[in-house]
Amino acid sequence: MAPSRHVAFAFIGALLAHAADPAFGQAYPSKPIRIVTSSAGGGTDFLSRVLANGISASLGQQIIVDNRSPALTGITVAQAPPDGYTLSLNGTSFWLTPLLQAKPTYNAVTDFAPITLMTTSPSLILVHASLPTRSVKELIALARARPGELNYGSSTLGAPTHLAGELFKSMANVNIARVSYKGNGPALLALIAGEVQLMFAAAGSATAHIDSGRLRALAVASAKPTALAPGLPTVAEVVPGYVAASTYGLLAPAKTPAAIIQRLNQEVLRFIQTPSVKEQLFKTGIEVVGSTPEQFAATIETDLRVWGKVIKSIGVKTD
């Protein structure tokens, strides 16, 4: 047989092999997709349902939101087949959790394949209306004049509200005490009631309380001013380099074929960049980002490096 015919048959064979691969062409997806996320009612649950409704039609398959306890979301996806049918939509706490565990149940870098960084929600420094401070500079001065007397409310160990407070303590060189609550909601209610004097909370969670005058926002913890907090200066203007935000993204199990990752990336970006979707999320205090898988991986690695130092300084491990 002539060499050219050998090449032709080899090429056709390769095409047939690829066509049988679910990662190739239109073969994926051929059955419902599952997005594993945290408990119902939270921010990741909300985003998961918005995304599921938004991309199921273009993918041609039903997308099911599978709510699990935070302790199970990571291991569930990490151990799933890398075929694109089990995904994880989670936030900053998800990839930081192993750093807080005495016996980590998953590795945020090696067990997952990033698809896209979807959104971000920067923290605000909030104070009770009775606290005599109207700027970050005044807050730092007050905290240094009364070391250990000011309390900040936070959610559970390692939550963004906790780590943002600890990073502020370190970078601003202040001594403020943490008071822990079972969630962001109870912590925010405690701030409104005056049980604590300040809190580092997501922008969307406190708008109504700021508008009512019960709470005062001093600054936003984004790298630059944001329309999510119009008129507010950044914390970094007083504490250079300070940034604290909750980011959310979509991940697949490690070794998921690159073609599947790329298909999902394109579908998600097409949907979240739609003006109506951006407006819908913006009204809840969420800013659409959208990224390549590589950019998302870099964000995770940066978070692990920056927040890893904070977690190490806390010196606390969970069981």
What is the per-residue pLDDT for 9? 39
Domain boundary among the residues 230, 245, 260 is at 245
pLDDT in tens, 73-115: 899 999 999 999 999 999 998 999 899 888 899 999 999 999 9
C-alpha 116/C-alpha 99 separation (Å) is 22
pTM score: 0.84
What is the per-residue pLDDT for 131? 94
Cα angle for residues 107, 123, 286 (degrees, 5° grid)? 85
Evaluate whether residue 319 is within a structural domain. no
What is the per-residue pLDDT for 71? 78
Do 173 and 233 fall into the same domain? yes
* Count of alpha carbons within 13 angstroms of residue 317, beta-carbon side: 8
Do 139 and 185 fall into the same domain? yes
Evaluate whether residue 182 is within a structural domain. yes
What is the per-residue pLDDT for 206? 79
Do 148 and 234 fall into the same domain? yes
Evaluate whether residue 146 is within a structural domain. yes
Evaluate whether residue 23 is within a structural domain. no
Contact 114, 297 (CB under 8 A): yes
Domain boundary among the residues 245, 270, 296 is at 245
In Å, how far are 201, 213, 249, 268 from 43, measured between CA atoms?
13, 25, 12, 17
Do 59 and 88 fall into the same domain? yes
Taken in order 216, 221, 227, 231, the sign of the CA dihedral is positive
Evaluate whether residue 206 is within a structural domain. yes
Do 221 and 136 fall into the same domain? yes
Contact 176, 162 (CB under 8 A): no
Do 158 and 178 fall into the same domain? yes
What is the per-residue pLDDT for 142? 97
For the chain, the DSSP string reads: --HHHHHHHHHHHHHHHHHHSTTSGGGS-SS-EEEEESSTTSHHHHHHHHHHHHHHHHHTS-EEEEE--HHHHHHHHHTS-SSSSEEEEEEHHHHHHHHHBSS-S--TTTSEEEEEEEEEEEEEEEEETTSS--SHHHHHHHHHHSTTT-EEEE-STT-HHHHHHHHHHHHHT---EEEE-SSHHHHHHHHHHTSSSEEEEEGGGSHHHHHTTSEEEEEE-SSS--TTSTTPPBGGGTSTT---EEEEEEEEETT--HHHHHHHHHHHHHHHTSHHHHHHHHTTT-EE----HHHHHHHHHHHHHHHHHHHHHHT--B-
Taken in order 242, 194, 121, 224, the sign of the CA dihedral is negative
Do 114 and 181 fall into the same domain? no
Q: What b/e string do you get for 129-157 counting C-beta neighbours within 10 Å, with b at 16 or more?
A: eebebeebbebbebbeeeeeebbbbbbbb
User: What CATH number is associated with residue 288?
Assistant: 3.40.190.150
Do 238 and 304 fall into the same domain? no
Range of the domain at 232: 126-245
Evaluate whether residue 148 is within a structural domain. yes
Beta bridge partners of 151: 177
Domain count, the chain: 2
Evaluate whether residue 222 is within a structural domain. yes
Do 44 and 71 fall into the same domain? yes
Evaluate whether residue 150 is within a structural domain. yes
Do 240 and 216 fall into the same domain? yes
State the burial class of residue 278 (Cβ atoms within 10 Å of its Cβ: 0-12, 13-18, 19+).
middle
Do 158 and 264 fall into the same domain? no
pLDDT in tens, 170-208: 999 999 999 999 888 899 999 999 999 999 998 777 788
C-alpha 75/C-alpha 108 separation (Å) is 10
Do 100 and 66 fall into the same domain? yes
In the chain, which residues have pLDDT < 70? Answer: 1-26, 316-319
User: What CATH number is associated with residue 225?
Assistant: 3.40.190.10
What is the per-residue pLDDT for 21? 47
Contact 218, 127 (CB under 8 A): yes
